[in-house]
């Protein structure tokens, strides 16, 4: 799920995905190369992401890297998961944050 | 060229070379697909650690990398084994059954040459059957192995197929008494064909043993048997069943093992589904 959300609407390579996960989670989750690429492999096998044939903006491009993007199914799965988490957070927010603080 | 087959070339220092060595812990097909990018990503992490200026930065990066490799390599092996086991649980295709059955017949044919005393004419037919069977099993085993380690699988299969085809051609030519080089019974050419066949069979068995997607006992029997068979080679690349020397006995045992290896591999190909067939998947809709 972290990798799906980190890719989001963009086309990202492994390093960008790893950095985005660290940023999204405020450093709480840091994947290494093994974590990133075993997850990428599973998402590719499940048809949730795909490798981009076209290169992104040439100025930002690094020819040595492979870029990945969500498929339609990947976007649908990410959206459904976000909606599910949103409902859970909304239900828990009135009391759960107070318990932490 | 498809994006999936694009190779990323990375150059790096000693840290990245050591890290690349660690990646041997992953399954070979995973490594073939992602190792270059993983090495590059590890290099990026090291660069970031140095940029931040923390004295223990690279050491911490290495510690995290070791933990990351240990956990994810193990999980990738487990996942791969589950996938292969699941795929193999299904029935083999018709072509796999046919290849396996021909291979079993070929292995039995080889055993019959040395264990049952029949006329030389029948021995020739059984040797032809043996080579055809070996080539069928090579194809059947290769169809599974190609999905796991394409380069290694192709190299081993091509060598074994061609070497057996060469020996088959020599047997057929010998039967017809055609002698294009004028060296009675082909002399050295026949010997070279036999030696190539045993060496290529041994290499094919070792590759099958290493990749582990077919029966290990069959692969082991093939590899050991082929090496032993070399020890008693006569000018036809085989050994005589009545050779009284220790080399003759070892070679005979090797040929029997080789035949058993082809039979076991043929049984495997005929009775278990190949793992290389990709799971059918509908193309996901693009928005």
Split at pLDDT 50, 70, 90, the class of B1 is very low
Alpha-carbon span A101 to A97, nearest angstrom: 6
Q: Give the number of other CB atoms < 10 A from CB of residue B55.
A: 7
Asked if the Cβ–Cβ distance from B65 to A32 is below 8 Å, we say: yes
**pLDDT of the residue at B112:** 80
| Both tokens assigned to B231 | 């020890």
**pLDDT of the residue at B262:** 93
Q: DSSP string covering chain B, please?
A: --GGGPPPP----HHHHHHHHHGGGS-HHHHHHHHHHHHHHHHHHHHHHHHHT-TTHHHHHHHHHHHHHHHHHHHHHHHHHHHHHHHHTSPPPHHHHHHHHHHHHHHHHHHHHHHS---HHHHHHHHHHHHHHHHHHHHHHHHHHTTT-HHHHHHHHHHHHHHHHHHHHHHHHHHTT--TT-SSTTHHHHHHHHHHHHHHHHHHHHHHHHH-SS-HHHHHHHHHHHHHHHTT--TTSS--TT--SHHHHHHHHHHHHHHHHHHHHHHHHHHS--TTSPPP-PPPPP-
**pLDDT of the residue at B277:** 43
Phi, psi of B227 (to 5 degrees): -65, -45
pLDDT tens-digit profile of B113-157? Answer: 777 765 666 777 888 888 999 999 999 999 888 877 888 899 999
What does pLDDT average to over chain A? 83
Rounded average pLDDT over B82-87: 61
Shortest Cα distance from A92 to chain B (angstroms)?
Answer: 33
Alpha-carbon span B265 to B257, nearest angstrom: 12
pLDDT tens-digit profile of B37-64? Answer: 999 899 988 888 888 777 777 888 898 8
Does the pLDDT of residue A2 top 70, yes or no? yes
Enumerate the residues of chain B whose CB falls inside 8 A of the CB of residue A34.
26, 38, 65, 68-69, 71-73
Q: Are B59 and B45 in contact (CB under 8 A)?
A: no
**pLDDT of the residue at B49:** 84
Using a CB–CB cut-off of 8 Å, the residues of B that contact A are 2-4, 6, 8-10, 26, 30, 33-34, 37-42, 44-45, 64-65, 67-69, 71-73, 75-76, 79, 281, 284-287
Asked if the Cβ–Cβ distance from B76 to A38 is below 8 Å, we say: yes
ipTM of the complex: 0.82
Does the pLDDT of residue B10 top 80, yes or no? no
The residue with greater pLDDT, B229 or B162, is B162
Split at pLDDT 50, 70, 90, the class of B286 is very low
Asked if the Cβ–Cβ distance from B30 to A41 is below 8 Å, we say: yes
Enumerate the residues of chain B whose CB falls inside 8 A of the CB of residue A35.
68, 71-72
Does the pLDDT of residue B236 top 80, yes or no? no
- Contacts with B271 (C-beta within 8 Å, 6 or more apart), sequence order: B92, B100
**pLDDT of the residue at B14:** 85
Split at pLDDT 50, 70, 90, the class of B109 is confident
pLDDT tens-digit profile of B245-285? Answer: 666 778 888 888 999 999 999 988 888 765 444 444 444 44
Weakest mean pLDDT among B11-25, B140-154, B174-188, B194-208:
B174-188
CA dihedral of B250, B252, B258, B262, whole degrees rounded to 10: -160
pLDDT tens-digit profile of A13-56? Answer: 888 898 888 888 888 888 889 999 999 998 898 888 888 876 65
Q: Give the number of other CB atoms < 10 A from CB of residue B189.
A: 17
The residue with greater pLDDT, A76 or B189, is A76
Does the pLDDT of residue B242 top 80, yes or no? no
Asked if the Cβ–Cβ distance from A35 to B75 is below 8 Å, we say: no
**pLDDT of the residue at B205:** 95
Ranked by mean pLDDT, the top range of A18-22, A53-57, B198-202, B214-218 is B198-202
**Best residue in A4, A6, A32, A67 to probe B by mutation, most B CBs within 10 Å?**
A32
Asked if the Cβ–Cβ distance from B68 to A32 is below 8 Å, we say: yes
What does pLDDT average to over chain B? 79
Asked if the Cβ–Cβ distance from B69 to A34 is below 8 Å, we say: yes
């Amino acid at each position: 799920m972290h990798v799906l959300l980190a890719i989001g609407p963009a086309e990202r390579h492994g390093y960008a995905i790893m950095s985005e996960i660290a940023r999204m989670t405020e450093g709480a989750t840091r994947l290494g190369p093994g974590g990133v690429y075993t997850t990428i492999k599973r998402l590719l096998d499940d048809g949730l992401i795909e490798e981009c044939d076209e290169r992104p903006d040439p100025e930002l491009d690094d020819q040595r890297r492979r870029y990945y993007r969500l498929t339609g199914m990947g976007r649908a799965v990410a959206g459904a998961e976000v909606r599910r988490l949103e409902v859970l957070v909304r239900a828990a927010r009135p009391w759960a944050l107070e318990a932490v603080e | 060229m498809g994006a999936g087959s694009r190779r990323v070339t990375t150059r790096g220092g000693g840290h990245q070379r050591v890290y690349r060595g660690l990646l041997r812990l992953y399954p070979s097909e995973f490594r073939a697909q992602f190792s270059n990018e993983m090495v590059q990503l590890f290099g990026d992490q090291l660069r970031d650690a140095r940029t931040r200026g923390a004295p223990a930065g690279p050491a911490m990066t290495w510690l995290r990398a070791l933990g990351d490799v240990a956990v994810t390599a193990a999980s990738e092996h487990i996942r791969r084994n589950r996938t292969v086991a699941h795929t193999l649980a299904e029935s083999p295709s018709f072509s796999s059954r046919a290849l396996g059955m021909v291979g079993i017949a070929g292995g039995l044919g080889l055993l019959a040459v040395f264990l049952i005393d029949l006329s030389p004419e029948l021995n020739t037919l059984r040797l032809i059957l043996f080579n055809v069977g070996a080539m069928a099993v090579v194809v059947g085993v290769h169809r599974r192995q190609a999905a796991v380690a394409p380069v290694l699988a192709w190299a081993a299969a091509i060598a074994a197929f061609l070497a057996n085809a060469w020996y088959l051609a020599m047997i057929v030519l010998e039967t017809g008494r055609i002698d294009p080089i004028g060296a009675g019974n082909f002399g050295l050419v026949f010997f070279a064909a036999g030696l190539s066949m045993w060496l290529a069979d041994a290499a094919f068995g070792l590759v099958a043993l290493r990749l582990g997607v077919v029966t290990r006992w069959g692969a082991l029997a093939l590899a050991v048997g082929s090496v032993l068979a070399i020890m008693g080679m006569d000018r036809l690349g085989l050994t005589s069943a009545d050779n009284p020397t220790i080399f003759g006995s070892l070679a005979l045992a090797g040929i029997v093992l080789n035949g058993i290896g082809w039979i076991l591999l043929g049984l495997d190909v005929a009775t278990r589904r190949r793992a290389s067939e990709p799971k059918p998947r509908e193309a996901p809709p693009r928005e």
